[in-house]
């Protein structure tokens, strides 16, 4: 757990005192990622760096796991906090192994223990220990270097990690991969993490909570869905962007919205049966055809059933797309737009049909949050969920 109590930083500049962080009080619960988000110069990085005293606080206190850190020696404090920075900062004169064991060494672990630990860490970040431990940072790509940067921060298994735009310097494709890997690690490690970002999409993806900063003040501290559906003021609204309702699509999984009410036909059914089912389910265009293991394999259109006769297997159209239960709604919406359709079949891990997702269901799901608040807030255009 990280708790900040009225943490304040005042910089003395030739133009007078500048308040970089103004009485910041917040708490990150054990095992969660809190993303500090805001435009540059908003105080998010200063706040983060006051926790491990890279920036010394003017006033206020930092508590880690309930303990006031002001009594701790600076070096000891830092050795017990994982720290990852945007520029990565691997020591070029040290091998990868020396880099990732630097904290255990400073903590006085014995050699065997940190050698074993180095191999564990390499497994954790999915890099081949034999191939990389003896190499130097300059021999690695940017993405590999940042993985090592994360491993170095995790080396002594600190309960708390501070990450200052850790994936900011990595190209977008690798960034997404590293973010996913990191989230997977975090699911197992359950570190308490403060994470600075200026990228709203990254914040939504990584954060259990998001803290929005502006001009040294903490403006809003909420869970991502709450933040996107109920921004506190005009600044937060504009920072999140006009398309913030669309961003919520990232937060919802297909399994939260899927409806198991779906009519299907088998390959052996006749077109007449298909016609009946289309009518009885009230479908406008078509019905889904599944194989004997209930895997979706095609669609039978209403027009076909009207003009042709015979068995479904001979008159099927290709499937536009299928979505998985764990896909997010952003992908679903994208597929719907791409294939000009308003519904998609959903499948489980075995590829078996487990329902469908429709544009109406999505709109309804996202909109429920706004409807419950509407009486309390004046309605402006941007409040409506997209796609309604």
Q: Which range, of 39-47, 130-138, 191-199, 221-229, touches another protein by CB under 8 A?
A: 130-138
3-state secondary structure of 344: strand
Rule CB under 8 A: say whether 174 interacts with another protein: no
Minimum Å gap between C-beta 106 and another protein is 6
**Running DSSP on this structure, what letter comes out for residue 317?**
B
Q: Which is nearer to another protein, 168 or 382 (CB)?
A: 168
Minimum Å gap between C-beta 304 and another protein is 51
Residue with tokens 């797309």: 321
Rule CB under 8 A: say whether 114 interacts with another protein: no
Minimum Å gap between C-beta 107 and another protein is 8
Minimum Å gap between C-beta 379 and another protein is 47
Minimum Å gap between C-beta 113 and another protein is 17
Of positions 3, 9, 78, 277, contacts another protein by CB under 8 A = 78
Q: Which range, of 16-24, 70-78, 210-218, 249-257, touches another protein by CB under 8 A?
A: 70-78
Instruction: Show the DSSP H helices in the chain as ranges.
Output: 44-51, 74-79, 96-100, 102-106, 111-124, 129-132, 142-154, 172-189, 200-206, 224-229, 234-240, 244-247, 254-257, 271-281, 302-307, 329-339, 359-373
Rule CB under 8 A: say whether 92 interacts with another protein: yes
Q: Which is nearer to another protein, 89 or 241 (CB)?
A: 89
Rule CB under 8 A: say whether 137 interacts with another protein: yes
Rule CB under 8 A: say whether 70 interacts with another protein: no
Minimum Å gap between C-beta 109 and another protein is 13
9: which strand partners?
21
Of positions 45, 46, 52, 304, contacts another protein by CB under 8 A = 52
C-alpha 175/C-alpha 344 separation (Å) is 29
Q: Which is nearer to another protein, 87 or 309 (CB)?
A: 87
Of positions 41, 58, 95, 129, contacts another protein by CB under 8 A = 95
Residue pair 192/7 in contact by the 8 Å Cβ criterion = no
Residue pair 23/7 in contact by the 8 Å Cβ criterion = yes
Rule CB under 8 A: say whether 171 interacts with another protein: no
Q: Which is nearer to another protein, 75 or 279 (CB)?
A: 75
Rule CB under 8 A: say whether 79 interacts with another protein: yes
CA dihedral 305→263→337→239, nearest 10 degrees, is 160
C-alpha 144/C-alpha 140 separation (Å) is 6
C-alpha 190/C-alpha 167 separation (Å) is 19
3-state secondary structure of 28: strand
The values of phi and psi at residue 334, to 5°, are: -60, -45
> CA angle 25-31-34, nearest 5°?
45
Rule CB under 8 A: say whether 71 interacts with another protein: no
Q: Which is nearer to another protein, 33 or 90 (CB)?
A: 90
Report the relative pairing of strands 264-266 and 286-290 from DSSP bridges: parallel
Q: Which is nearer to another protein, 169 or 321 (CB)?
A: 169
Q: Which range, of 108-116, 135-143, 271-279, 325-333, touches another protein by CB under 8 A?
A: 135-143
The values of phi and psi at residue 63, to 5°, are: -115, 130
Residue with tokens 């015979």: 310
Rule CB under 8 A: say whether 103 interacts with another protein: yes
Q: Using CB under 8 A as the criterion, which residues of the chain lie in contact with another protein when the complex forms?
A: 52, 54, 74-80, 83, 85, 87-95, 102-103, 106, 136-141, 144, 152
């Amino acid at each position: 757990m990280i708790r900040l109590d009225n943490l304040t930083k005042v910089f003395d500049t030739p133009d007078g005192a500048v308040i970089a962080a103004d009485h910041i009080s917040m708490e990150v619960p054990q095992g969660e990622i809190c993303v500090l988000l805001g435009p540059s110069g908003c105080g998010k990085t200063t706040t983060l760096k006051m926790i491990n005293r890279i920036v010394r606080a003017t006033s206020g206190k930092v508590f880690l796991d309930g303990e006031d850190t002001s009594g701790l020696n600076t070096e000891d404090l830092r050795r017990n906090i994982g720290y990852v920075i945007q520029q990565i900062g691997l020591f070029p004169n040290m091998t990868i192994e020396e880099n990732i064991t630097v904290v255990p060494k400073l903590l006085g672990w014995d050699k065997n223990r940190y050698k074993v630990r180095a191999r564990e860490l390499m497994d954790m970040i999915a890099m081949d220990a034999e191939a990389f431990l003896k190499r130097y940072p300059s021999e690695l790509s940017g993405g590999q270097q940042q993985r090592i940067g994360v491993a170095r921060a995790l080396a002594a298994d600190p309960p708390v990690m501070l990450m200052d735009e850790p994936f900011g310097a990595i190209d977008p494709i690798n960034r997404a991969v590293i973010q996913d890997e990191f989230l997977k690690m975090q699911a197992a490690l359950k570190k308490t993490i403060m994470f600075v970002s200026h990228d709203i999409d990254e914040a939504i993806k990584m954060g259990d909570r998001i803290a929005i900063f502006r001009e040294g003040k903490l403006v809003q501290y909420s869970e991502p869905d709450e933040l996107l559906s109920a921004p506190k003021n005009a600044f937060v609204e504009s920072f999140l962007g006009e398309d913030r309702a669309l961003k919520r699509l990232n937060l919802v999984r297909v399994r939260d919205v899927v409806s198991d009410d779906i009519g299907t036909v088998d390959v052996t059914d006749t077109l007449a049966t298909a016609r009946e089912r289309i009518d009885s389910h009230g479908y406008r265009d078509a019905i889904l055809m599944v194989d004997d293991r209930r895997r979706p394999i095609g669609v039978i259109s209403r027009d076909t059933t009207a003009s042709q006769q015979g068995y479904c297997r001979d008159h099927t159209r290709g499937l536009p797309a299928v979505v998985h239960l764990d896909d997010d709604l952003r992908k679903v919406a994208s597929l719907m737009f791409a294939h000009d359709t308003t519904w998609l079949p959903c499948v489980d891990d075995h590829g078996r049909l487990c329902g469908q997702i429709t544009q109406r269901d999505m709109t309804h799901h996202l909109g429920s949050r706004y409807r419950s608040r509407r009486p309390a807030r004046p309605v402006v255009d941007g409040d409506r969920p997209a796609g309604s």
